[in-house]
Amino acid sequence: MTFTLETEVATVLRPLVGVLALQGDVREHAHALDASGADFLAVRRESELSEVDGLVIPGGESTTISRLLDTFELLDPLRKRIADGLPTYGSCAGMILLASTVLDGRPDQNQLGGLDITVRRNAFGRQVDSFEEDLDVTGVTGGPLRAVFIRAPWVESASAEVEVLARVPDVPSAAAAAGRIVAVRQGATLATAFHPELTGDTRVHRLFVEMVRAAA
């Protein structure tokens, strides 16, 4: 292909964003990315990872995704691309995988890096403890965002290099979760403990697509 100025502009305006398609809610993220102005590629191989301008690591089961990364020989290539500055967004299990330290995880679980945070796996409880809450998220305009938490982690601690974007509001219904960190950003890496792909509200995905454009 011969690249022209028009080709480069089109790539920046509508970047190619991959979704790690080993396990989890891939289709929902693909729809949200399309609505946010990005093209989508399912990533299962190193060759596909090398093509994308940014990557979403979806919710699912973090230990399962960790094992599959090893099986599909994606673990080291993905770690390298993240370390080299690939814009990456992780939701729920994706946040766990991007964290530097995980509490209540398996001892053999693989971490990808990207976020200097400590997360607690399944911090909000089991599947039956799933809930929704309105959150104010830094960088997301237009009022509070409805957040869906499903067997979600929360951030126990974050270094000074990490920007905290959202916390669970201190309301009676929040109970022990009140004030817990549930959205963060560090450089080109974004993560949420909740699932914005499930609500039809694309504002978090639009924020991420803008991060990808800026990096391009």
Active site amino acids = 92, 195, 197
Please return the burial class of 184, using the count of CB atoms within 10 Å of its CB with bins 0-12, 13-18 and 19+. buried
Strand boundaries in the chain, DSSP class E = 16-20, 39-43, 54-57, 88-91, 99-103, 115-120, 131-135, 145-149, 154-158, 163-167, 181-186, 189-192
Instruction: Tell me, rounded to whole angstroms, the distance of Cα 80 from its chain centroid.
Output: 17
**Mean pLDDT along residues 111-135:** 81
* Tens of pLDDT, residues 68-85: 999 999 999 999 999 999
- pLDDT(2) > 50: no
157 or 1, greater pLDDT: 157
The domain spans of the chain are 5-215
Phi-psi sector, 52: left (phi>0), alpha (psi -120 to 50), beta = beta
CA dihedral 112, 113, 117, 121 (to 10 degrees): 0
Predicted local distance difference test score (pLDDT) of residue 9: 47
Taking residues 21-30, report their average pLDDT. 93
- Could you name the CATH architecture of 5-215? 3-Layer(aba) Sandwich (3.40)
What are 156-198's pLDDT values in tens digits?
Answer: 999 999 999 999 888 666 567 778 999 999 999 999 999 999 9
Task: Dump pLDDT digits (tens) for 50-61.
Answer: 999 999 999 988
* Degrees to nearest 5, angle at CA 209 with 207 and 212: 115
User: pTM for the complete prediction?
Assistant: 0.90
Confidence of residue 4 (pLDDT cuts 50, 70, 90): very low
